C-alpha cells in the first residue's frame, strides 16, 4: 500500500508539469472506415459506421440515463477534480502487484478526454498521465453538467451508435429524453463492452448487466429498492426495437466471406466493433477475388432456380489459406450472408451436415496406418449384417447396404473406394479400423468427432461436418500429411501503418507421407474411372463423392496438389417441423455427390487452377503391409462365342489374356461354380441357359455359358454384339451392363474394370 501511495504521489507531481504542455482539444476526431483486402491487395469491402451523432443538450437526455451512467462509470463524478485519487491509488496498487498497466482508474472526464481528444490508446504511464492532465484541464474550463453532456454525446454504445440520442434510436426507437429506468440501466452497462451484451447472442448477459447497474444506482441513492425491483422484472427482449448493425453489406461480392471475417474479428481477434466500424483498420485476408468470382459463377450457373437446394463451397490452398467461400446458393442476396453459412462455422457454433462416403478416405487412411495393404480384398454383397459387439447399433446388428442395393464381388481396396462400396467399408471398420482408430485419424485430419457418434457407421459419413473441415482433411492428404490450420486473416494494421495483428500459415505433420500419398493415389483413380468421373479436369486431381442416406446431403471433395475444394448440397431444415427435405427429385434427378456437387467443383477448379503457373502431380505411394484375402486372378479378355460346342468334353473353357485356353477351367466336378445367390444375393443379368446341367452338377441346373468353374467363375452371359454404356453415378448399376460386355461382375472372384490397382513406380 505504501508503494501504491508513492506511485500515486508521483502521478500527481507529474500532473503539474504536464498541465502547461497539453492543450485542450477543439474538435472531435473523425472516424475512419476500415477496409478489407484480398491476397492480391484488391479491396473487398469497406466497414463503416453510420454515426448519426445527433448532438443534444443535457436536458434532452433522460435523468435516468444520466444517473445510470454516473452510477456505473464514476460515482464520484460530481466531487472529484477530473481524476480520482482513490481510483489512482487502487489502480496503482493493482498495477504494481500485477506488474503492468492493467487497472484503469478512469473517470468520466478522463474517458471523455480519451474519446474526444487524441491522447493515444497505448497502455503506458505516459498515456495515463496525458489523459489525466487533459481531464484536469477540462474540469478547469467546463462545468460538470457540460462535461457530462460532452461525454453522453460522444461515448460509443455499440451497433454503430455514438452518443445517447443515437443509442436511444438504435436500440429502442425513441429519443434519449424518453428513456426509462431499465432501458437507461442497460445502456449505461454496455459502455465498457457493447458487443458482449447484445440480445441476439447473450440474452442472459443483457439482464445481468442491467441489474448490476440498477444495484449501483440504488447504492448511490439515485433510486429506491422498489424502483430497482420493478425495473428488474422488465423483460428486455420485449423492449428492444433494434436497428440493423451499420456495417451492412453494400455488395453481394464475397458476402459470406465478409460476414465470416467480421464475426472472426470481433470474437477471435477481440477487435472492438467501434474500431472495426470507425478505427481506420486495414485488414489483409487470404481470399482471392478471382477465385471467389469463379466460385460464385459456378454456383449461380448450376443452381439458379428458386426451388433448388442450398450449397456450400470452400476452397483452400495446401497451406490452409482460404481462397473462396460461398455459404449459400443465392450469392446475389447480401442479406443471406447474415444468416446461416453452409460453408463454415466459427469455433463453438453448431452446424454442419453429413458428408456421406466422402468420409471413407478417413477409414482408408486408418486402414493403411494400421499396416494393412490396399491389395487386400473383401466381398461386396448388396447387403450385409454385422453383429459384432463393436458395431452393434442400439443393441441390434448393424445393417449396411450399397447404393441402390448394388452387389459386387471380391474387390480390392482401390476398387472398393472407386465404386464406393459401403458393405466393404463396413467390413473394414469391423475387422480392422474400429471406431477408435477412425476417430483418432479423423482428429489428425482436423475433424473432431462428437462422443455421440462413436460407432462403426462413422465410415459412412454420419457425423455433421462443414465444407471447411472437409477441405482441411483433404488438403492434408494433398500436402502429403501436413495438416494446415485454416487461415483467413493475414494482417491487421492501424491507420498509421503499425501492425496490430499478423498471422502466418501453419501446418503440422500429422500422418505419414506414404499414408497421405496412398489415399491421394486411390482418390485420383476415383476421378479417372470411379464415382467421381464427372469432376475430371485437365490437371491431375483426386476426389471423392458423398451421398447421405435417402439423398439428404450430397458432397464432392477433391484436390490438386495446389488447391482443395469441398462442395456440399442439401435443403435447409423446415423452420417448423425441423425436418430436412430429401433431394430425390431435383430437376428430375436423384442428387448424388457425383451430380451437381461434382459439376460445381469441376467448373470452379477448372477456372481457378488457370491462375497457377505450374501444376504438379501426386507422388506414387509405396504399397506395403499385410494383405487380407488376396485379390483373385485376372479376368479373361474374351468369352468363346459357342461354349456349347467347346471341344472340351469334361467342362467349359475360356480364353485367357494370352489367347490360350485356360486348362484350369475344365474340371467342373472338382471345382463347382457357386450359385449367384451364394455370391451376391442376386443376379440381375439375363438368363441364358444351354439346356445342360453343368455336367451333372446338381448345384448348377440350367448352367449358363458365363458360369465357369473355379478359379474363374467371373464370366457372365454375353451376346455377340456388345452394348455401349454411359458411366454410372455413385454406386448406381448401369442397366445395360451384362449385355454383351464383361463390365462390372456380380460374380466376386475377379474384376475387369479399368481402375489401376497398382501405382506406377516413381
Question: Per residue in 352-373, pLDDT tens?
Answer: 899 999 999 999 999 999 999 9
The predicted structure's pLDDT at residue 373:
96
Residue 423 contacts residue 383 (beta carbons within 8 Å): yes
Question: Which whole number is the average pLDDT over 321-333?
Answer: 88
Please determine, for residue 375, whether its predicted confidence score (pLDDT) is greater than 50: yes
> Interhelix angle for 360-369 vs 513-529, to 10°?
140
Out of 17-21, 23-27, 542-546, 703-707, pick the least confident: 703-707
The 3-state DSSP class for residue 315 equals strand
Which of 513, 539, 536, 484 has the alpha carbon at shortest distance from 620? Answer: 513
Question: What does the alpha-carbon distance between residue 195 and residue 249 come to, in Å, rounded to a whole number?
Answer: 19
pLDDT in tens, 426-455: 999 999 999 999 999 999 999 999 877 778
Q: What is the pLDDT of residues 200-248, one digit of tens each?
A: 889 999 999 999 999 999 999 999 999 999 999 999 999 998 865 444 4
683-688 average pLDDT score: 34
The CA distances from residue 82 to 102, 171, 731, in Å, are 20, 30, 77
- The C-alpha cell at 721 is 454384339
H or E element at residue 471: helix 467-478
- pLDDT attached to residue 53: 60
711 cis-preceded (ω within 30 degrees of 0): yes
Count of C-beta atoms within a 10 Å radius of residue 587: 11
* Nearest Cα residue to 442 out of 510, 352, 351: 510
Mean pLDDT for 161-184 is 93
Q: What is the pLDDT of residues 376-398, one digit of tens each?
A: 999 999 999 999 988 988 889 99
Around 512, how many Cα atoms within 13 Å sit in the side-chain half-sphere?
A: 11
3-state SS class at 464: strand
What pLDDT score does 586 carry? 96
Amino acid at each position: 500500500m505504501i508503494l501504491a501511495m508513492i506511485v500515486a504521489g508521483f502521478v500527481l507531481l507529474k500532473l503539474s508539469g504536464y498541465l502547461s504542455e497539453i492543450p485542450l482539444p477543439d474538435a472531435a476526431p473523425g472516424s475512419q472506415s476500415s477496409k478489407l483486402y484480398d491476397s492480391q491487395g484488391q479491396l473487398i469491402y469497406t466497414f463503416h459506421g453510420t454515426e448519426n451523432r445527433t448532438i443534444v443538450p443535457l436536458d434532452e437526455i433522460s435523468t435516468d440515463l444520466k444517473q445510470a451512467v454516473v452510477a456505473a462509470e464514476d460515482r464520484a463524478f460530481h466531487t472529484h477534480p477530473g481524476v480520482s485519487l482513490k481510483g489512482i491509488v487502487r489502480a496503482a496498487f493493482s498495477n504494481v502487484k500485477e506488474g503492468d498497466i492493467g487497472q484503469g482508474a478512469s473517470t468520466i472526464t478522463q474517458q471523455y478526454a480519451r474519446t474526444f481528444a487524441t491522447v493515444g490508446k497505448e497502455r503506458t504511464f505516459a498515456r495515463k498521465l496525458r489523459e489525466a492532465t487533459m481531464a484536469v484541464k477540462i474540469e478547469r474550463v467546463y462545468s460538470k453538467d457540460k462535461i457530462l453532456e460532452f461525454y453522453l454525446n460522444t461515448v460509443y454504445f455499440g451497433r454503430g451508435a455514438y452518443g445517447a440520442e443515437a443509442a436511444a434510436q438504435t436500440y429502442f426507437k425513441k429519443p434519449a429524453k424518453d428513456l426509462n429506468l431499465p432501458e437507461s440501466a442497460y445502456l449505461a452497462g454496455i459502455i465498457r463492452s457493447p458487443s458482449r451484451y447484445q440480445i441476439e447472442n447473450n440474452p442472459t448477459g443483457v439482464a445481468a448487466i442491467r441489474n448490476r447497474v440498477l444495484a449501483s444506482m440504488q447504492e448511490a441513492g439515485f433510486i429506491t429498492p422498489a424502483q430497482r425491483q420493478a425495473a428488474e422484472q422488465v423483460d428486455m427482449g420485449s423492449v428492444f426495437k433494434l436497428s440493423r448493425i451499420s456495417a451492412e453489406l453494400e455488395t453481394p461480392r464475397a458476402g459470406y466471406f465478409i460476414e465470416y471475417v467480421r464475426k472472426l474479428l470481433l470474437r477471435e481477434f477481440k477487435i472492438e466493433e467501434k474500431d472495426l466500424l470507425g478505427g481506420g483498420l486495414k485488414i489483409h485476408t487470404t481470399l482471392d477475388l478471382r477465385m471467389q468470382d469463379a466460385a460464385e459463377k459456378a454456383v449461380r450457373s448450376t443452381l439458379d432456380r428458386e426451388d433448388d437446394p442450398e450449397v456450400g463451397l470452400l476452397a483452400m490452398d495446401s497451406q490452409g489459406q482460404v481462397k473462396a467461400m460461398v455459404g449459400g446458393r443465392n450469392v446475389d442476396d447480401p442479406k443471406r450472408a447474415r444468416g446461416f453459412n453452409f460453408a463454415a462455422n466459427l469455433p463453438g457454433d453448431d452446424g454442419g451436415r453429413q458428408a456421406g462416403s466422402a468420409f471413407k478416405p478417413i477409414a482408408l487412411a486408418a486402414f493403411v496406418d494400421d499396416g494393412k495393404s490396399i491389395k487386400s480384398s473383401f466381398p461386396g454383397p448388396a447387403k450385409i449384417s454385422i453383429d459384432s459387439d463393436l458395431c452393434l447399433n442400439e443393441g441390434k446388428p448393424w445393417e449396411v447396404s450399397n447404393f441402390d442395393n448394388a452387389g459386387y464381388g471380391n474387390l480390392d481396396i482401390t476398387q472398393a473406394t472407386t465404386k464406393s462400396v459401403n458393405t466393404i467399408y463396413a467390413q473394414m471398420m469391423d475387422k480392422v479400423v474400429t471406431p477408435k482408430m477412425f476417430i483418432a485419424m479423423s482428429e489428425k485430419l482436423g475433424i473432431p468427432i462428437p462422443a455421440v457418434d462413436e460407432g462403426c457407421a462413422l465410415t459412412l459419413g454420419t457425423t455433421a461436418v462443414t465444407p471447411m473441415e472437409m477441405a482441411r482433411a483433404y488438403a492434408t492428404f494433398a500436402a502429403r500429411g501436413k495438416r494446415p490450420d485454416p487461415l483467413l486473416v493475414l494482417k491487421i494494421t492501424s491507420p498509421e501503418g503499425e501492425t496490430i495483428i499478423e498471422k502466418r500459415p501453419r501446418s503440422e505433420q500429422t500422418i505419414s507421407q506414404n499414408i497421405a500419398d496412398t489415399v491421394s493415389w486411390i482418390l485420383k483413380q476415383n476421378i479417372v474411372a470411379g464415382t467421381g468421373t464427372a469432376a475430371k479436369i485437365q490437371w491431375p486431381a483426386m476426389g471423392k463423392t458423398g451421398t447421405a442416406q435417402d439423398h439428404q446431403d450430397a458432397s464432392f471433395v477433391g484436390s490438386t496438389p495446389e488447391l482443395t475444394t469441398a462442395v456440399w448440397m442439401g435443403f435447409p431444415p423446415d423452420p417448423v417441423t425441423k425436418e430436412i427435405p430429401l433431394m430425390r427429385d431435383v430437376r428430375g434427378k436423384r442428387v448424388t455427390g457425383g451430380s451437381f456437387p461434382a459439376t460445381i467443383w469441376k467448373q470452379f477448379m477448372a477456372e481457378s487452377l488457370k491462375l497457377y503457373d505450374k501444376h504438379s502431380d501426386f507422388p506414387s505411394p509405396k504399397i506395403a503391409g499385410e494383405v487380407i484375402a488376396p485379390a483373385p486372378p485376372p479376368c479373361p479378355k474374351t468369352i468363346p462365342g459357342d461354349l456349347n460346342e467347346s471341344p472340351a468334353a469334361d467342362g467349359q473353357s475360356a480364353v485367357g489374356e494370352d489367347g490360350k485356353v485356360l486348362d484350369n477351367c475344365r474340371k467342373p466336378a472338382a471345382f463347382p461354380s457357386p450359385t449367384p445367390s451364394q455370391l451376391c444375393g442376386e443376379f440381375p443379368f439375363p438368363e441364358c441357359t444351354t439346356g445342360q446341367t453343368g455336367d451333372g452338377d446338381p448345384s448348377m441346373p440350367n448352367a449358363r455359358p458365363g458360369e465357369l468353374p473355379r478359379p474363374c467363375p467371373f464370366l457372365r452371359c454375353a451376346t455377340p454384339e456388345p452394348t455401349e454404356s454411359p458411366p454410372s453415378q455413385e454406386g448406381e448399376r448401369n442397366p445395360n451392363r451384362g449385355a454383351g460386355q464383361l463390365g462390372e461382375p456380380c460374380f466376386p472372384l475377379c474384376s475387369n474394370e479399368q481402375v489401376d490397382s497398382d501405382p506406377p513406380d516413381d
